[in-house]
Structure 1
Amino acid sequence: MLKFKITKDEFAALDEAQQALYAEAGDGYQLQVDGIDDGAELKEALRKEREERAEAKRKLKEFESDAERKERERLEQRQEWEQLAKSEREQREQRDKELAELRDEVANGKRTTTAESVVAGLIDKEATGGVQRYNLLRKEAMQHIAHTPDGIKINGPDGEAWDAKRLGQYLSETYPFLVDGSKASGGGAPGSSGGGAVTKKFDQMDAGELSALRQQNPDVYQRLRDEYHNR
């Protein structure tokens, strides 16, 4: 099929019979056909070209709009998923934290109960300075009490397994100045006679005993001093 317009190269490729049908027009050649309005033909060709170009642009815009919409939806879904995952992670961490705190609270409660059961047999809280000495000795006792998956464990300074009785003996021997004299298992307190309680009066102790008492048990030292000066 012959084209209405051809280039010079296309014209050169035609045989002589076909070349006779063309006349030179502008930079190329145009088919010489009677009854055809060259201007109308050209306008129609331009119109179709514009329509095709406009349609191509429209389809491209639709494609880009659809792609953008899908990408936006994908990002929104991803953001929602990330937000949901973050929320679930924070809730899980909060539950784990609360559970750990509850476990620690239960464990510390059991440790405190065990320590108090040991210290209660060593100190009379109603005695002079009893509450203060009780709290101090309970704190020391808890250093040797641990809560494990197998329950409460009592250990000595070197990690050896102890029971409550052995811990009480250790506390009495290590802190005789905190233990009531009648309940102590070892001596060593200034002014004592084999027990932890002070048995001498203020004016019966020498300077060394008074100095040691003041350092080890200031409450008792102050009480004896006040009794001596207020008699």
Structure 2
Amino acid sequence: MPLSYRIDSLDNIEESQKALYVKSGDGYQLDVDGLEDVTGLKNKRDELLTKNKALQKKAQEQEEEARQAKEAAAKKAGDIEALEASLIEKYESKQKESQAQIDRLNAMIREEKIDKVAADIANEISTMPKLLGREIKDRLTIEEIDGKFQTRILDAEGKLSALTIDELKKEFIDNNDYAGIIKGSKASGGQAATGGNNHGSGSRKWADYDNERDLIDLKKSDPDEYKRLLTTR
């Protein structure tokens, strides 16, 4: 079995391989030369996360300022309606700008903590990573712990669990529903795609599908047929 670059613990690592890993953050990583230094990227990510919090706080402060300004305007003589309209327009403009920045930062966090994690797992254990990656993403979420965003694992019912990344990998590997697309599985070996799509429903085989996109669509529209196809690999 290939070595994983990052792991949560050394518990399931053979004694002869433990010396290959060094402590890194909350887990361990392979101690090898020649890999790109991602420290700068991580620092930038942490900087953006801090900025995200600041933007959220700023948006709340701006909302309070607008409320106070509206009350003050009501107490003054003159064109109160025009003043209120001006303040509201200014506030809404700043609010939209702040929200756009928050949305961009949240998207970056999701890409780092969910999309990338799911892709890494799928590439490691599956012969069809795009297909399995969608299933893995449904089991991941983000939680803020001590000011830092962490990837958390959901159970089969969508609730937070104490599962680790390695335990989630094992769950997918051991699940017979995915046996046809798991590396090293007896059900995943064998046939090459023929490109033919001329069989009727119920008689087609896995090899009759030309690409992953068709299989992804089938899994959504007809889960039972998709499971049957897995047995034909």
TM-score normalised per structure 2: 0.43
TM-score normalised per structure 1: 0.43
Q: Which has the larger radius of gyration?
A: 1
